[in-house]
Structure 1
């Protein structure tokens, strides 16, 4: 294909498994918007559009879902998580960010809002790093009722936010799910504590055309295996995971799902510190595994915020040479 596509045309073609002029490309890290949707919109536009001209603009979760004011010390407290309306300040700032970016990007530029799964938010409420996750894992096995109640409340809140985000101009939701690995829940446990609440939240994104589930494996847990097959029937168009960190490979995943795949680049690898040859080899490897079909070339998870611009600039320059 010789005619150059717009980002919207390119991404839509990739979702349908059609030929593209080049693979869609995206990478991301976090920003510090100080609670301001306006500041986050400005930083997002400058990074994704002005500086790197990426095919998808991804609003990072830097205006976070509000944690309970008094903090959560015990699993039993999860029964009483608040029901949040769209007037919640953090939600209003996210919606403002979407509207501002849509005004700047025009009607068809792919724009996604990053949100976490209900289970991921509960992990975060209970403590940083692995502390919260371990408390939820233990609680789910010994006292599941308050956890299930809390999950249901968060799923309901997210459903309303997703619906409003699509109405405000988002093309879809980037939905990041923790806990679906063999280092965390068993498959049966994720089917109980993860999947039902994921699906309830995602009902709010039904009107989106670019919904993405990210199956998260922590970079420090290199031996993790994600339960990829548990997500292949989720109501989304794209599956994202750290394929360079954990299985399946891109080539294997093509046989497991008819959805578009998002990945190919290791978030702690050549994209952040590699030579031009190393970056090119990783990009080519991803394209060769998929023959460039049903692929959005991207990092498996967020790259470090302090990464040098040099490898990112190299990757973006190489992109136009890779067909």
Structure 2
């Protein structure tokens, strides 16, 4: 049996595919920091470190990227999106949050900042619901040049923010990408409207050691399949997706990439309302698929904010018992 590892040792070993004393664990939901980086740092530390002692502290996107002053009514308006500097209030507060957490956690604790892809922000700007996303998709097909100009602007802004986040103390970026599913863009369209701007933004995170790309599938879109193969060469160490919701499963993904995999827990399954037996079965099933190598045990997407924390406590306790 391996001696007990620190969270940093455990996550580093998982990234390298080496033995771990137990599989690293992380889970998350959203907070309401009311625009304050200090407030977000406080609730983040309390949840991830004080309450659950998780292996990764994940700063949620609850200090969101600024939306246009006037809500866009047409995708052609995206070409006028502004270039933002690090004095932008939301950016300043995120960097303040990182510095505060790094000071509390010490120099080595895995700490990641959650940001969305340029395409995901366009979806949000047009409306945080299915129809808004569809309007962007359909609009990109009609007005590709204007949409691409907006994507390039956001990618440049994110690149600067990511670089500053790593310098402020983040171990890496959790980069969430929407649109790369069979219900959204075609694979060819994502290679045009998603991939180039994802990669441009991620240039800012090159100095991070724990960069993660999350391939998002909407839980309401039954049968949605992600374009997993489009992300296997992204410059990140970890691939995250809702493996309990959409393919590939963890065992299949082990043969599709040599990157570390992040998943195994269904965000609307046992982790939110299950019995001890159901939670244990899901944990053991996930670990069995990876043999405990190249694996960070985590929910596939955010847990609903209003559910009981009892299953989370069970999962956390159970993982130590399964060491």
Instruction: Note whether the superposition's TM-score is higher than 0.5.
Output: yes
Shift of residue 222 of structure 1?
A: 2.4
Shift of residue 73 of structure 1?
A: 1.1
Structure 1: gaps (5+ residues): none
SS in 2 for 1:256: coil
Task: Identify the residue that residue 91 of structure 1 maps to in structure 2.
Answer: 91
Does the CA-based 8 Å contact 2:35-2:90 persist in structure 1?
A: yes
Task: Identify the residue that residue 159 of structure 2 maps to in structure 1.
Answer: 159
Alignment TM-score, normalising by the size of structure 1: 0.99
1:67 to 2:67 alignment: yes
Alignment TM-score, normalising by the size of structure 2: 0.99
Instruction: State the alpha-carbon separation in 2 of the partners of residues 101 and 5 from structure 1.
Output: 21
Task: Identify the residue that residue 127 of structure 2 maps to in structure 1.
Answer: 127
Residues 33-52 of structure 1: pairs in structure 2 closer than 5 A: 33-52=33-52
Higher deviation after alignment, 220-229 or 253-262 = 220-229
Shift of residue 142 of structure 1?
A: 1.1
Instruction: State the alpha-carbon separation in 1 of the partners of residues 142 and 173 from structure 2.
Output: 33
Instruction: State the alpha-carbon separation in 1 of the partners of residues 322 and 97 from structure 2.
Output: 33
Does the CA-based 8 Å contact 2:171-2:210 persist in structure 1?
A: yes
Higher deviation after alignment, 124-133 or 234-243 = 124-133
Computed over aligned residues only, the root mean square deviation of the Cα atoms, in angstroms, reads 0.6
Shift of residue 70 of structure 1?
A: 1.5
Task: Identify the residue that residue 219 of structure 1 maps to in structure 2.
Answer: 219
Instruction: State the alpha-carbon separation in 1 of the partners of residues 128 and 249 from structure 2.
Output: 30
How many correspondences in the alignment? 323
Q: 1:20-41 CA deviation, whole Å, 9 max, x = no partner?
A: 0000000000000000000000
Residues 95-244 of structure 1: pairs in structure 2 closer than 5 A: 95-244=95-244
Shift of residue 307 of structure 1?
A: 1.4
Structure 2: gaps (5+ residues): none
SS in 1 for 2:217: coil
Moved over 4 A (4+): none
Instruction: State the alpha-carbon separation in 1 of the partners of residues 24 and 132 from structure 2.
Output: 36
Instruction: State the alpha-carbon separation in 2 of the partners of residues 70 and 217 from structure 1.
Output: 28
SS in 2 for 1:214: strand
